[in-house]
């Protein structure tokens, strides 16, 4: 399955909105349950989400324990829709792949240029 950073962003936003009520599953619209489960798993593996154990929930989507520090940091950098779209456009215009490291690099560059 191909990684979808739009789904990653949606999961992070939904997870943050839950606060401490982690009993509700995360189920962004427009994605299959399998896509959501896969992305939550790789986000846990990548250190963006915390999960005590991988879920065996069939519907509607897995439940997890919350964002990690890195998850909060990444979400803060891509939270605003306009910023997110600008970052994706910048990467596309420069013919760079949409990777996690490329995203973080563009975010750092954007923040530095905004501060000048």
**Over the stretch 45-95, which tens digit does the pLDDT of each residue have?**
899 988 765 555 554 555 667 889 999 988 988 898 988 888 888 777 776
Rounded CA-CA distance 32/73 in Å is 26
Is the separation of the CB atoms in 50 and 27 below 8 Å?
Answer: no
Q: Look at residue 29 and tell me whether its pLDDT is greater than 70.
A: yes
How many residues comprise the chain? 116
Share of residues in the chain with pLDDT > 70 (%):
72
Rounded CA-CA distance 52/87 in Å is 32
- DSSP one-letter string for 83-107: HHHHHHHHHHHTT----HHHHHHHH
**Mean of the per-residue pLDDT values of the chain:** 78
- Phi, then psi, of 12 in degrees rounded to 5: -60, -45
Q: Look at residue 8 and tell me whether its pLDDT is greater than 90.
A: yes
- Rounded to whole angstroms, what are the CA distances from 51 to 26, 28, 40, 63? 13, 18, 9, 8
Q: Look at residue 10 and tell me whether its pLDDT is greater than 90.
A: yes
Q: What is the pLDDT of residue 116?
A: 56
Q: What is the pLDDT of residue 59?
A: 45
Q: What is the pLDDT of residue 99?
A: 75
Rounded CA-CA distance 35/93 in Å is 27
């Amino acid at each position: 399955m191909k990684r979808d950073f739009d789904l990653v962003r949606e999961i992070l936003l939904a997870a943050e909105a839950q606060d401490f009520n982690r009993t509700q599953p995360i189920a962004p619209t427009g994605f299959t349950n399998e896509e959501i489960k896969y992305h939550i798993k790789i986000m846990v593996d990548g250190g963006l989400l915390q999960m005590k154990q991988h879920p065996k929930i069939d519907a509607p989507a897995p439940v997890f324990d919350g964002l990690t520090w890195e998850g909060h940091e990444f979400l803060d950098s891509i939270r605003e829709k306009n910023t997110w779209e600008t970052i994706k456009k910048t990467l596309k215009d420069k013919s760079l792949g949409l990777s996690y490291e490329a995203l973080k690099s563009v975010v750092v560059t954007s923040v530095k240029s905004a501060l000048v």
